[in-house]
């Protein structure tokens, strides 16, 4: 029984953890990408350090080769003098030079091996970094798409949920407002027409416009005729 309860609790804890991760997936992804970017930057520095050490090893190798060549020349000269019998101690110096050359040759061989290891390691590190950088760029693109999708989904929820009801209500309010404004315009027009029909001046104006009785205003023809009448014929 205790074992079943323990399994159930662990199952619920896992579900809760997964649900929490799902609710905060985008910020979690962003932080993971930042952590990965820092690790990649650290890997770049490791590659740079390895390259610098390899360059130092190459310079040291050249120094060893130069010393070996110099010692060989001097040891050969010492042996030549010894063969001539000019100085019995020259052979001892040549032996010391030979021992130094043997030591330097061991250093040379170790340097060559170190350079080979550096070259292999640098190649592997560069390959790993390039692959990681490509994966990071893909993750960054995915993060941007995930953020855009999340915002679009939030908008869908707003429009499909309470937001849609709000839009419907706003449209109904606008329709009622337009209807009321239209009614107000019709009412004002009707009132104006009624006032004109009730007032005597309005009735007279209607009759005059219909050609019943003298017109209330001079027409353009009347004004033109009056002006022509003022013209005096020439003697």
Residue 106 domain flag: yes
Residue 92 domain flag: yes
When pLDDT is cut at 50, 70 and 90, the band that residue 59 belongs to is very high
Among 160, 189, 219, residue at a domain's last position: 160
Q: Are residues 144 and 194 in the same domain?
A: no
When pLDDT is cut at 50, 70 and 90, the band that residue 85 belongs to is very low
Is pLDDT at 112 greater than 90 in this prediction? yes
Q: Are residues 86 and 129 in the same domain?
A: yes
Which range has the worst mean pLDDT, 21-30, 65-74, 94-103? Answer: 21-30
Is pLDDT at 167 greater than 60 in this prediction? yes
Residue 200 domain flag: yes
| Closest of 11, 95, 114 to residue 56, by C-alpha | 114
pLDDT of residue 104: 92
Provide the CATH number for the domain around residue 44: 1.10.287
Give the separation between CA 139 and CA 133, rounded to whole angstroms.
Answer: 10
Residue 47 domain flag: yes
Q: Are residues 131 and 35 in the same domain?
A: yes
- Count structural domains, the chain: 2
Residue 234 domain flag: no
Is pLDDT at 1 greater than 50 in this prediction? yes
Which residues does 53 contact at the CB level (< 8 Å), separation at least 6? 118
The structure's pTM equals 0.52
Q: Are residues 9 and 111 in the same domain?
A: yes
pLDDT of residue 45: 92
Which residues does 198 contact at the CB level (< 8 Å), separation at least 6? none
Full domain range(s) for residue 146: 2-160
When pLDDT is cut at 50, 70 and 90, the band that residue 170 belongs to is confident
Residue 91 domain flag: yes
pLDDT of residue 171: 76
Q: Are residues 61 and 106 in the same domain?
A: yes
Is pLDDT at 84 greater than 60 in this prediction? no
pLDDT tens column, 179-224: 877 887 777 777 666 655 555 666 677 666 666 766 666 667 777 7
Give the separation between CA 78 and CA 100, rounded to whole angstroms.
Answer: 14
Concatenate the DSSP letters of all residues of 129-153 into one string: HHHHHHHHHHHHHHHHHHHHHHHHH
């Amino acid at each position: 029984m205790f074992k079943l309860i323990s399994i159930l609790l662990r199952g619920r804890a896992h579900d809760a953890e997964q649900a929490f991760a799902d609710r905060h997936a985008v910020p979690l992804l962003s932080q993971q990408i930042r952590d990965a970017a820092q690790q990649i930057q650290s890997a770049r520095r490791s590659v740079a350090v390895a390259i610098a050490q390899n360059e130092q090893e190459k310079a040291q190798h050249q120094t060893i080769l130069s010393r070996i060549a110099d010692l060989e020349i001097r040891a050969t000269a010492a042996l030549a003098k010894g063969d001539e019998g000019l100085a019995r101690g020259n052979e001892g110096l040549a032996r010391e030079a030979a021992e130094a050359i043997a030591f330097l040759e061991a250093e040379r061989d170790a340097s060559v091996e170190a350079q080979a290891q550096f070259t292999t390691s640098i190649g592997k590190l560069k390959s790993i970094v390039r692959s990681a950088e490509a994966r990071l760029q893909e993750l960054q693109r995915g993060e941007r798409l995930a953020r855009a999708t999340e915002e679009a989904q939030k908008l869908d929820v707003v429009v499909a949920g309470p937001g849609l009801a709000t839009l419907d209500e706003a449209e109904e309010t606008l329709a009622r407002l337009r209807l009321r404004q239209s009614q107000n315009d019709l009412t004002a027009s009707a009132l104006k027409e009624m006032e004109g029909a009730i007032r005597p001046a309005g009735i007279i104006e209607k009759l005059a416009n219909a050609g019943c009785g003298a017109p209330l205003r001079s027409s353009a023809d009347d004004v033109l005729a009056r002006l022509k009448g003022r013209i005096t014929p020439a003697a």
